[in-house]
Chain A
Amino acid sequence: MNPVYITKACAVTAMGPDLESLYNGLMDQKSGISKITRFNTQCYTSPYAGVITGLDHAKKSSLIFQLSAMLTEQLGTIGSDTFLISASTKAGIDLLEENITKSKMIPKDLFLSSLTEYIALKMGLNNKGININSACASSTIAVAKGASLINMGAVDSVLICCMDIVSEFVFSGFSALGAMSDEPARPFDKNRNGLSLGEGAAAILLMNEKKIKACGNSPLCRITGWGIASDATHLTAPAKNGDGLKLAIKKACKKAKISTDDIHAVNTHGTGTKYNDSMEIAVIHAMFNPNQVIANSIKGAIGHTLGAAGGIEVALCVKMLQKKMMPGTIGFLDPEKSTQKIISPDARPLTGDCILTTNSGFGGTNAAIIFKKI
């Protein structure tokens, strides 16, 4: 089996145009969530979201392609034989309103594969790639499957590009489900009352040792384990016992050949909804030593970026391992007893040499990835 390394990690979020601005913003306890003006939010349960400066509907294309351009320009040149996996839940869904009202012809850009093709063309790749779609765990699963393909020897390098935008389509849906907070989200806080949506993108370049030597790249960290599992319980709510997430973490640990005692830091999904955060804290208590493990969520700072969430958090984990620090959880003001010591509003030093990131989504999907410092 071939070891898998991350050699590039980029991000664009409401906190700024690159990974550095995300990490620094989180360390400075800033928030990118604000009242939005992109569409009228009067009919909805929240006016807040984490939107990216510079994305503009006046440019007559889906915001997803503008976001994609902002991401790919950070990547530089990569080998044309790199296999592409994009991850997005709704890609260019903002085109739908215009086309359902003004035209009977649906543009091909509404297909999720159009985003993948756009990135492949932009990066000069010799394959059109695939998009992986599994709700809010889409990009975590995309990174896991990319790692699997390298691990099994099918390919030498994989580029994962993940992104989703804040559209009225998705915003109105979460509002209708009653899942959004009427203030910026407060993950794990005692008084949390829902999520804030956000938009963002991340790119993760994975390589095996052969490709790293050939390209002269320096690995940033190693991906040692990954696991994907389903709750098989409910379409839009997490399993209260967290069985699916536990199974995903167990699989990741088995692949990494470590126990949960070896993990001292967890980047959680931490959406800010009552049920999700309770489930995650219960899983941490059940699987980890609560006196040893620290955890955080970044969704109180940039919002829940849906299909991009996992990829952005992977990029941030790379940064955390390099800086040996875990940023605090923005919006976490009033702790519950169960979150004390585990979650903090303040940044804390990382101990140990690995970090776990997890995401869960509609349909009961869960994914976990373990990174190890080099």
Chain B
Amino acid sequence: MEAFITGIGWVSKDSMGYPDHIQQFDKKTTLPGIKRKDILNHPHKSFGRMDAFSKLGFAAIAFAMNDAGIKEERDKKNISIIASTVTGCLETDMNFQETILKKVPSPAIFAYTLDSSFLGEASIYFGLTGESFVINEEKTNGLTGLLMALEIIDSGVSDIVLCGMCNSDIKILNAYSHIIKPGSLFFVIEKNSLHSYGTIKATSPANFYYQQDIKITGLYDLAQKCCNRYEHYED
């Protein structure tokens, strides 16, 4: 199974954006507060209502779509989304739990107490009608999601898949910093493309190769290799 990587988008403590449009941060201790204007060209009334986890994932999806040249329009498109996470929306769960303790459970917060809520938001905003689900793993490297993304393309279910990962950055999770990399990273993977960062293929569920023979160990490794190749051509 093989496909082309046509877009990359991310939000980290260091920077956010995509290779052609990177916003660097001076303060690198926390993830940025994400504003609608940072990521979208058009107004989106739901954006302000989203929880921090959803904004984090939504932003990386929007950056990746932009990088791949997929227009910010709501006409329906057969594009699938797969996201991997360790933390999920635990921070939002805690915020909702506080409203229960105050005897006023908030329906607005409850709507975002599913790890998959941001996939729903992305599918609504961008008109994505393909498959959509979250994978929860311990120490996720995102490769199971990548295998499933390649399978979706290979089987003809969708020709384009957004595949990535999203993890919160909250203090109470510091004890798990060895298994959690806070931030979000998404790739646009396409069956056909003339302009791409290169190819990705799976030869077995455990073996993934960039540009035919460069073994990758996870999605962050893949992003690094794609960006290195991009910088090489830019130079």
**Are A134 and B132 in touch, CB under 8 angstroms?**
yes
Which chain A residue lies CB-closest to B121? Answer: A235
A225 CB to closest chain B CB (Å) equals 12
**Are A97 and B100 in touch, CB under 8 angstroms?**
yes
B194 adjacent to chain A (CB < 8 Å)? no
Known: A234-B124, A251-B157. Contact between A132 and B93, CB under 8 A? Answer: no
B59 adjacent to chain A (CB < 8 Å)? no
B221 adjacent to chain A (CB < 8 Å)? no
List the B side residues contacting A244 at CB < 8 Å.
Answer: 129
**Are A131 and B172 in touch, CB under 8 angstroms?**
no
A60 adjacent to chain B (CB < 8 Å)? no
Residue from A148, A362, A365 in contact with B148 in the complex, judged by beta carbons closer than 8 Å: A148
Which chain A residue lies CB-closest to B109? Answer: A173
B62 CB to closest chain A CB (Å) equals 15
Name the segment of B9-17, B64-72, B82-90, B227-235 touching the other chain.
B82-90
List the B side residues contacting A37 at CB < 8 Å.
Answer: none
Residue from B113, B128, B151 in contact with A230 in the complex, judged by beta carbons closer than 8 Å: B128
List the A side residues contacting B159 at CB < 8 Å.
Answer: none
A260 adjacent to chain B (CB < 8 Å)? no
Residue from A113, A234, A365 in contact with B133 in the complex, judged by beta carbons closer than 8 Å: A365
B83 CB to closest chain A CB (Å) equals 9
Which chain A residue lies CB-closest to B104? Answer: A176
Name the segment of B35-43, B134-142, B184-192, B208-216 touching the other chain.
B134-142
Known: A176-B105, A362-B114, A364-B124. Contact between A117 and B132, CB under 8 A? Answer: no
Report the interface size class on chain B.
Answer: 35 or more
Which chain A residue lies CB-closest to B170? Answer: A106
Give Cα distance in the complex from A232 to B115, angstroms.
17
A169 adjacent to chain B (CB < 8 Å)? yes
**Are B120 and A128 in touch, CB under 8 angstroms?**
no
In B166-223, the 8 Å CB interface with A consists of: 172-173, 175-176, 204-205
Best-buried of A97, A135, A230, A363 by chain B (most CB within 10 Å): A230
A363 CB to closest chain B CB (Å) equals 3
**Are A365 and B120 in touch, CB under 8 angstroms?**
yes
Give Cα distance in the complex from A176 to B132, angstroms.
26
B46 adjacent to chain A (CB < 8 Å)? yes
Give Cα distance in the complex from A133 to B113, angstroms.
12
A105 adjacent to chain B (CB < 8 Å)? yes
Give Cα distance in the complex from A96 to B100, angstroms.
11
List the B side residues contacting A135 at CB < 8 Å.
Answer: 114, 116, 120
Residue from A113, A152, A174, A365 in contact with B155 in the complex, judged by beta carbons closer than 8 Å: A152
A318 adjacent to chain B (CB < 8 Å)? no
Give Cα distance in the complex from A63 to B173, angstroms.
23
A185 CB to closest chain B CB (Å) equals 19
Interface SS of B by simple majority:
mixed
Give Cα distance in the complex from A359 to B10, angstroms.
32
Count of A-B contacts with CB under 8 A?
174
A82 adjacent to chain B (CB < 8 Å)? no
List the B side residues contacting A100 at CB < 8 Å.
Answer: 94, 97-98, 101
List the A side residues contacting B74 at CB < 8 Å.
Answer: 232
A310 CB to closest chain B CB (Å) equals 12
**Are A232 and B111 in touch, CB under 8 angstroms?**
no
**Are A133 and B123 in touch, CB under 8 angstroms?**
no
Give Cα distance in the complex from A169 to B111, angstroms.
12
Number of chain A residues whose Cβ lies closer than 8 Å to a Cβ of chain B:
61
Residue from B110, B134, B155, B175 in contact with A133 in the complex, judged by beta carbons closer than 8 Å: B134
**Are A113 and B86 in touch, CB under 8 angstroms?**
yes
B117 adjacent to chain A (CB < 8 Å)? yes
List the A side residues contacting B136 at CB < 8 Å.
Answer: 111-113, 116, 130-133
Give Cα distance in the complex from A148 to B144, angstroms.
13
A214 adjacent to chain B (CB < 8 Å)? no
A18 adjacent to chain B (CB < 8 Å)? no
A144 CB to closest chain B CB (Å) equals 9
List the B side residues contacting A174 at CB < 8 Å.
Answer: 110
**Are B205 and A232 in touch, CB under 8 angstroms?**
no
Give Cα distance in the complex from A43 to B99, angstroms.
13
A177 adjacent to chain B (CB < 8 Å)? yes
A306 CB to closest chain B CB (Å) equals 10
Known: A133-B115, A154-B147, A229-B131. Contact between A364 and B120, CB under 8 A? Answer: yes
Give Cα distance in the complex from A43 to B111, angstroms.
19
List the A side residues contacting B90 at CB < 8 Å.
Answer: 106, 110-111
Best-buried of A108, A112, A243, A247 by chain B (most CB within 10 Å): A112
Give Cα distance in the complex from A191 to B207, angstroms.
55
B76 adjacent to chain A (CB < 8 Å)? yes
B32 adjacent to chain A (CB < 8 Å)? no
Known: A169-B100, A177-B110, A363-B123. 17 other contacts (CB 8 A): A89-B114, A97-B97, A100-B97, A104-B172, A106-B90, A106-B172, A128-B137, A132-B135, A132-B136, A134-B133, A152-B1, A169-B96, A228-B132, A228-B157, A231-B123, A235-B46, A363-B119
Return 26 A-B CB contacts under 8 Å, by A number: A105-B172, A110-B93, A116-B137, A131-B136, A132-B136, A133-B88, A133-B114, A133-B116, A133-B133, A133-B134, A134-B119, A134-B132, A135-B120, A148-B148, A151-B155, A152-B1, A154-B205, A172-B110, A176-B110, A228-B131, A229-B131, A230-B123, A231-B129, A362-B120, A365-B119, A365-B132
What 3 pairs between A and B have smallest CB-CB spacing? A363-B120, A173-B110, A131-B136
